[in-house]
Chain A
Amino acid sequence: MLKGRAIKFGDDISTDHICPGRYFHLRSNLPELAKHAMEDADPDFACKVKPGDFIVAGANFGLGSSREHAAVVIKMSGVCAVLAKSAARIFFRNAINIGLPILICDTDRINDGDELEVDLENSTVRDLTNGADLKFGNFPQVMLKILEAGGLIPYIKRYGDFKS
Chain B
Amino acid sequence: MGKTIAEKILSQRSGTDARAGDIVVAKVDLAFVQDGTGPLALRQLEESGLEKIANPQRAVLFLDHAAPTPARELANDHLALRQFAKKSGAQLSDIGEGVCHQLVAESYASPGEVIVGADSHTVTAGGLGAFATGMGSTDVAIAMALGKTWFRVPESFKISVSGRFPTGVYAKDLILHLIGILGADGATYKALEFCGEAVDRMGMSERFTIANMAVEAGAKVGLFPADETTKRYLKSRGRGDRYRVLKADPDAAYERSIEIDASSLEPTVSKPHTVDNTAPARELKGTKIMQVFIGTCTNGRLEDLAIAAKILRGRKRHPQVRLLVAPASVEVLRNAIRAGYIQTFIDAGAVILPPGCGPCVGVHQGILGDGEACLSTANRNFKGRMGNPNSFIYLGSPATAAASAIAGEITDPRGLM
Contacts and interface: CB of A to CB of B under 8 A. Distances in A.
A157 B146 CA distance: 12
B184 interface: yes
Q: Which of B47, B122, B385 has the most CB of A within 10 A?
A: B385
A40 B66 CA distance: 21
Interface in B329-348: none
A34 B386 CA distance: 20
A57 to B, nearest CB: 12
Contacts of B24: 164
B161 interface: no
Contacts of A162: 25, 146, 148-150
Contact of B362 (A22, A59, A94): A22
Contacts of B254: none
A66 B218 contact: no
Contact of B77 (A27, A60, A63, A71): A27
Interface in A142-164: 142, 151-153, 156-157, 161-162, 164
Interface string B119-159: 11010000000000011111100100010111010000000
A25 B36 CA distance: 9
Contact of A16 (B122, B185, B385): B385
A137 interface: no
A127 B390 CA distance: 35
A25 B74 contact: yes
Contacts of A68: 37, 40, 118, 136-138
Nearest to B66: A24
A122 interface: no
A8 B384 CA distance: 20
A24 B363 contact: yes
A163 B410 CA distance: 52
Interface stretch (A84-92, A107-115, A128-136): A84-92
A12 B136 contact: no
A12 B305 CA distance: 32
A31 interface: no
A65 B121 CA distance: 8
A97 B47 CA distance: 13
Interface string B52-69: 000000000000011000
Interface in B18-72: 23-25, 36-37, 39-40, 44, 47-50, 65-66, 70-71
Interface in B271-322: 274
Given A60-B184, A68-B138, A14 B387 contact: no
B387 A66 contact: no
Nearest to A43: B389
Contact of A63 (B118, B135, B218): B218
Nearest to B185: A60
B382 interface: yes
Contact of A26 (B73, B118, B149): B73
A151 B74 CA distance: 27
Given A66-B120, A162-B150, A164-B150, A21 B136 contact: no
A25 B80 CA distance: 14
B73 A29 contact: yes
A90 B384 contact: no
A66 B119 contact: yes
A98 B149 CA distance: 16
Given A21-B363, A86-B185, A161-B146, 5 more contacts: A12-B274, A21-B361, A66-B122, A66-B137, A152-B142
Interface of A: 12, 14, 16-17, 20-22, 24-29, 40, 59-60, 63-69, 71-72, 86, 88-90, 93-94, 97-98, 140-142, 151-153, 156-157, 161-162, 164
Q: Which 6 A-B pairs have the closest CB atoms?
A: A68-B136, A21-B362, A94-B136, A60-B185, A25-B73, A25-B71
19 contacts: A14-B382, A16-B385, A21-B361, A21-B386, A24-B65, A25-B66, A27-B77, A64-B120, A65-B361, A66-B136, A86-B188, A89-B188, A89-B220, A90-B134, A152-B139, A157-B48, A161-B146, A162-B149, A164-B24
